[in-house]
Amino acid sequence: MSEPTTEVGDRAGFLARIRERQGPPPRSGPHPAPDPPEVVPEVRYRSLDDVAGPGLVDVFATAARAAEATVDVVAPDGIDEPLRAVVETHEVHTAVVSNDPGLDRVAGVLAGLGVAVSPYDRETAATADLAVTGATHGLASTGSVVVDTEVAGSRAVSLLPRVHLCVLPAERIVPTHADVLRHQSRPMPSCRVVITGPSRTGDIEQRLTLGAHGPVALHLLVTT
Amino acid sequence: MTAVHLFVTCVGEMVVPDVPVAAVRVLRAAGCSVDVPVGQTCCGQPAWNAGFTEQAAEVARTSLDALDAPLADDPDAVVVVPAGSCTTMIRLYWPQLFELVGDDERAARAREVAARTFELTEFLEGRELPTVDGAATTVALHESCHLLRELHVETGPGAALARVAGCTRVDWSADDRCCGFGGTFSVKLPETSVAMADEKLDTLPDGVEVIVGADSSCLLHLRTRAEHRGLAVTTRHVAEVLDDAIRAEDGSEKGDGRG
Amino acid sequence: MAVGEWPVWSTSLRDRTATAVADPVLRSNIGAATDRFGTKRTSALAAVHDPDGLRRAARGVRGQILSNWAETLETLADNVMANGGHVCWAPTGADANDYIAAVARRIGASTVVKSKSMATEESGLNEALADVGCEPVETDLGEWIIQLAGEHPSHIIAPAVHKNRHQVADTFEAEAQMTDRVTEPAALVAFARAALRDRFLAADLGITGANFGVAETGSIVLVTNEGNARMATSQPRIHIAVMGAERVTQTWEQADLLLGLLAKSGTGQPLSSYTTVISGPRAEGEADGPDEFHLVILDNGRSTLAGTEFAEMLNCIRCGACLNVCPVYRQTGGHAYGWVYSGPMGAVLTPLLAGSDHDHGHDHGDGSSNPDELSGASTLCGACMEACPVEIPLQDLLLGLRRRKAADASRAEKAMWSAWAAAWSRPAGFRATASMAARTRRLGPLVSRLPGVSNWTDGRSMPALPARTFSQRWRSGDV
């Protein structure tokens, strides 16, 4: 924003206390620290063994379902039926749509199903039944989708409504989080979120309960 | 014939001598010659775990000196210890202990001894030992902490038990959880220590008559808690189970003392 | 809880653990929870290749970062400011509180929503905010429950793990105006969701912790399942992230590896529901997000660990795995540790952070303050290091703390160990103990030299001793 940034406190003193002490961890003792790896290893998921290209969609769908999302994989002209099912299952009457390009057709189908569709604003979203967003990436190994604020137009569009519908072209599915997190575009969007399943809590008796603060359901519509 | 020098341990010396006795016999049955180096006392772990480094070093020094003399004479000789915890003290902590007290010469010797020191079941895994017939007993195995997580001996006690036909080992969900002994922990936080032992005992599967393990101190803790509660289960060191079976086959006499 | 009021200052570890262990509901709640976390962790790690290799690499990576700690912080701060954020360097918790309170006063904030932050538990931020007329609302469900109950967290990732559904319902009835009592977890969550959503929408200020600060892009990573951090960083006008100074990475490669281990180790999920990367305030043209983003970098004793034998404690990524596998924590839960952090990491961190603050110390007359006792809350079983995603050798650090405590031990305790060493460093003295013990055939006289023999015998029988020691049998040729 246009406000000048400020720095409070004694940076030099703060860092001097650290600098005078910092150093590599002890390399002796019964459990000595290893040397740092020459290359920071990536997490290699067993579900991706021998999987490439189109096979990623299946891995993605399996992982997303394990994270309590629901998934449909359809051709671009096959979205009507899944959207109807979402509207009926979740009793959707109102929807907000993010700024992601390419959602016009989805919005049109929803409107045709009698859903009141509007662009995002906070008050509307806070009571809306459905959020519709795109995603910049899908992560096959964890069934995650990546939503950037600079594309979606807001941080909370995928958060405030009761149900989140994310439309993901299959070609955006990459193997793991490393394929996105290690290759961040610069400058970074002000907010980027990796979404893995709906909002949840286990804070009461470790009982998995969906919809703690965010959506109670996440539906992923993968278009091939 | 491999020359084995037995480190008896303080608990083996004073509280459960049947365990080192059994270890000697089992090692002989495995084709080793066994000696008990003169001058050994304790590994120093009680003081080490309480943070009293100088005192731990004073005691460990005596045992180090007793052990490394015979090793120096025979390059193939090894030290075997019938306790995972004391083996850990020697192997992992002696070098650090002597470094901390500035005794670099002994730290170097401790590293050499460490490389040639093995816990009993770990050592037996690499040896020829026939399967023997033992009494029909249902047992559960307590995987002691240091043996499992510091020495990474994951199969030693189980493999030793498997050599005793007639001994049925049942799975125990809490087999690798700490018994709650922890040396001075057992008297500094006794309520917690007892609760830990109780959870072990309460999760024991039905029908288990004996808890078998490779560390006498854990077994003592579990046994004395079980006795206090009036439970029927007892404990036995894996060396004793093996020795019982070997002697039953040999038809030889039982030793004295208690297990 | 205000700094200085924590139980660690005023009560003994023995008393706290004894109280906890005597509570069967607590033990049952904790046992069930840690079992579940443990099972999920095992399966999450089994889904990847070579998890132990990853843990080892992560340890190496953390060591590399903290070898360049000051430079990493400097880069982070520069990039946060380049992204339009404000930076506060807070040497102490009080400095952090003052800064945040000043921001709250400047904008006339009345409601402050907080997403779970252990660093602000350290600093007692909630009390500081209340002092300037703000109402801080914890929004992590577990954290809200304990805030309502006037308690403190008993687990770093599941703060209300000690409470069952009925106890939660009691709290909601008593403290959150729940009129139609429900006890099903789903219904309790729905109640909390509705109550807290109003607060999110009304809040002026959102305060979060930070799981990681990534220096190369000036970004803060927040990991939650509930979405409360997303709420706190999208709804209020101002977002302040309070980050423990050690929670930094130099690069995204490093952050990616650590994120790949964090949720698997903690809750046992492949990833948490929401991994949020914040790189500044709301950008031009965006429909929501805060006007201001502030990063508070908190030292609060952390820098004193650098370069010491305890430096690797700075590697901790607060996943909670060590709590879930600890057989002591399993019996006592978190409150028995008496301060912000519990389990093995708490037993190490509390003496190092809180123990350095001797202003609050209740000296035992032997130079040790209460927090130092926590190094005794372990059997050194090693389950913690085995579970730790950055392989912190917690048992070695606990031993180091015991050495530190022993250096200040009472004369009587030192004398006891010296007498022991004098006897057992000589074979004759060792044999004398052994034969004396064997002669008595009871352990009593041996153990009675240690303080509190009843500490053993109250819960365990005395082992009967053998007639002859091993040495006697060996020398007599009976073996």
Query: Which residue, among A213, A216, A218, A220, would best test binding to C if mutated, counting the most C CBs under 10 Å from its CB?
Result: A213
pLDDT score recorded for residue C362: 47
Q: Where are the alpha helices (DSSP H) in C11-92?
A: 13-21, 24-46, 51-67, 69-82
Q: In Å, how far is B92's CA from the nearest CA of chain A? A: 5
Numbered residues of chain B with Cβ closer than 8 Å to any chain A Cβ: 92-93, 95-96, 99, 150
pLDDT score recorded for residue B184: 92
pLDDT score recorded for residue B142: 97
Q: In Å, how far is C104's CA from the nearest CA of chain B? A: 44
Other chains touching C, judged by 3 or more CB pairs under 8 Å: A, B
Please determine, for residue C439, whether its predicted confidence score (pLDDT) is greater than 80. no
Chain A: residue whose CA lies nearest to B91: A30
pLDDT score recorded for residue B254: 46
- N residues, chain A: 224
Query: 3-state class of B78 per DSSP?
Result: strand
In this structure, what token pair is assigned to residue C247? 């929670």
CB C181 within 8 A of CB C173: yes
Chain A: residue whose CA lies nearest to C229: A213
Which residues of chain C does A205 touch, with a Cβ-Cβ cutoff of 8 Å? 29, 32-33, 164-165, 185
Q: What is the pLDDT of residues B122-131, one digit of tens each?
A: 999 988 777 8
Cβ neighbours of residue A127 closer than 8 Å, sequence gap 6 or more: A94
Chain C: residue whose CA lies nearest to A48: C48
Band (pLDDT 50/70/90 cuts) for residue A81 is: very high
Q: What is the pLDDT of residues C408-423, one digit of tens each?
A: 899 999 999 999 999 9
Q: Is the ipTM of this complex over 0.95?
A: yes
Band (pLDDT 50/70/90 cuts) for residue C453 is: confident
**Burial of residue C262 (number of CB atoms within 10 Å: 0-12, 13-18, 19+):** buried
Residue C276, phi-psi category: left (phi > 0), alpha (psi -120 to 50), beta (remainder): beta
pLDDT score recorded for residue B126: 84
Which residues of chain A does B95 touch, with a Cβ-Cβ cutoff of 8 Å? 30
Q: Do residue B228 and residue C404 have CB atoms under 8 angstroms apart?
A: no
Q: Please compute the mean of the pLDDT values over residues B47-57 and round it to a whole number.
A: 97
pLDDT score recorded for residue C444: 54
Q: Do residue B187 and residue C377 have CB atoms under 8 angstroms apart?
A: no
Cβ neighbours of residue C333 closer than 8 Å, sequence gap 6 or more: C20, C26, C27, C29, C30, C154, C155, C161, C162, C342
Query: 3-state class of B72 per DSSP?
Result: helix
Q: In Å, how far is C81's CA from the nearest CA of chain A? A: 6
Q: Where are the alpha helices (DSSP H) in chain B?
A: 10-14, 18-29, 45-50, 53-73, 84-88, 94-100, 104-115, 120-125, 145, 156-162, 185-188, 190-202, 216-229, 238-250
pLDDT score recorded for residue C361: 45
Cα–Cα distance between C170 and C185 in angstroms, integer? 13
Helix (H) / strand (E) element for C295: namely: strand C292-298
Torsion of CA C210, C212, C214, C219, to 10 degrees: -30
pLDDT score recorded for residue C102: 96
Cα–Cα distance between A135 and A101 in angstroms, integer? 10
Q: What is the pLDDT of residues C113-164, one digit of tens each?
A: 999 899 999 999 999 999 999 999 999 999 999 999 999 888 888 889 889 9
Q: Smallest Cα–Cα separation from A144: which of A53, A220, A34, A52?
A: A220
pLDDT above 90: percentage of residues in chain C: 82
Please determine, for residue C198, whether its predicted confidence score (pLDDT) is greater than 70. yes
Cα–Cα distance between C191 and C185 in angstroms, integer? 10
pLDDT score recorded for residue C449: 53
For residues C122-155, b (16+ Cβ closer than 10 Å) or e, as one string?
bbbbbebbeeeebebbbbbbbbbbbbbbebbbbb
Q: Please compute the mean of the pLDDT values over residues A58-72 and round it to a whole number.
A: 98
When mean pLDDT is compared across B151-165, B228-242, C98-112, C431-445, the lowest value belongs to C431-445
- Nearest Cβ partner for C327 among B14, B58, B196: B196
pLDDT above 70: percentage of residues in chain C: 93
Q: Please compute the mean of the pLDDT values over residues C395-407 and round it to a whole number.
A: 95
Q: In Å, how far is A53's CA from the nearest CA of chain C? A: 20
When mean pLDDT is compared across A76-80, B234-238, C270-274, C327-331, the lowest value belongs to A76-80
C439 or C205, greater pLDDT: C205
pLDDT score recorded for residue C452: 65
Please determine, for residue B1, whether its predicted confidence score (pLDDT) is greater than 70. yes
Q: Does the CB of A29 have a partner CB in chain B at under 8 Å?
A: yes
First to last CA, chain A: 39
Window 110-139 of B: residues touching C by CB (8 A cutoff) are none
Q: B-C interface: how many C-beta pairs under 8 angstroms?
A: 203
Which residues of chain C does B197 touch, with a Cβ-Cβ cutoff of 8 Å? 459-460
Which residues of chain B does A29 touch, with a Cβ-Cβ cutoff of 8 Å? 96
Q: Smallest Cα–Cα separation from B79: which of B29, B44, B27, B31?
A: B27
CA C313 to chain centre: 11
Chain C: residue whose CA lies nearest to A69: C273
Q: In Å, how far is A175's CA from the nearest CA of chain C? A: 13
pLDDT score recorded for residue C358: 45
Q: In Å, how far is C463's CA from the nearest CA of chain B? A: 7
Which residues of chain C does B39 touch, with a Cβ-Cβ cutoff of 8 Å? 427
Cα–Cα distance between B177 and B198 in angstroms, integer? 12
Please determine, for residue B257, whether its predicted confidence score (pLDDT) is greater than 70. no
Q: Do residue C70 and residue A18 have CB atoms under 8 angstroms apart?
A: yes
Cα–Cα distance between C168 and C315 in angstroms, integer? 34
pLDDT score recorded for residue C438: 65
In the DSSP assignment, the letter for residue C234 is: T
pLDDT score recorded for residue C3: 61
pLDDT score recorded for residue B255: 45
When mean pLDDT is compared across A115-129, C331-345, C354-368, C422-436, the lowest value belongs to C354-368
Q: Does the CB of C428 have a partner CB in chain B at under 8 Å?
A: no
Please determine, for residue C84, whether its predicted confidence score (pLDDT) is greater than 90. yes
Window 22-51 of B: residues touching C by CB (8 A cutoff) are 24-25, 36, 38-42, 46-51
Give the CA angle between residues A193, A196, A197 to the nearest 5°: 125
Cα–Cα distance between C362 and B253 in angstroms, integer? 61
Please determine, for residue C355, whether its predicted confidence score (pLDDT) is greater than 90. no
Cβ neighbours of residue C51 closer than 8 Å, sequence gap 6 or more: C45, C264
Band (pLDDT 50/70/90 cuts) for residue C454 is: confident
Chain A: residue whose CA lies nearest to B111: A30
Please determine, for residue C443, whether its predicted confidence score (pLDDT) is greater than 70. no
**Burial of residue A81 (number of CB atoms within 10 Å: 0-12, 13-18, 19+):** exposed
Band (pLDDT 50/70/90 cuts) for residue B256 is: very low
Q: In Å, how far is B184's CA from the nearest CA of chain A? A: 21
Window 325-344 of C: residues touching B by CB (8 A cutoff) are 327-328, 330-332
Q: What is the pLDDT of residues B154-177, one digit of tens each?
A: 999 999 999 998 899 999 999 999
Chain C: residue whose CA lies nearest to A63: C270
Q: What is the pLDDT of residues C168-190, one digit of tens each?
A: 999 999 999 999 999 999 999 99
Q: What is the pLDDT of residues B74-104, one digit of tens each?
A: 999 999 999 999 999 999 999 999 999 999 9
pLDDT score recorded for residue A206: 85
pLDDT score recorded for residue C359: 47
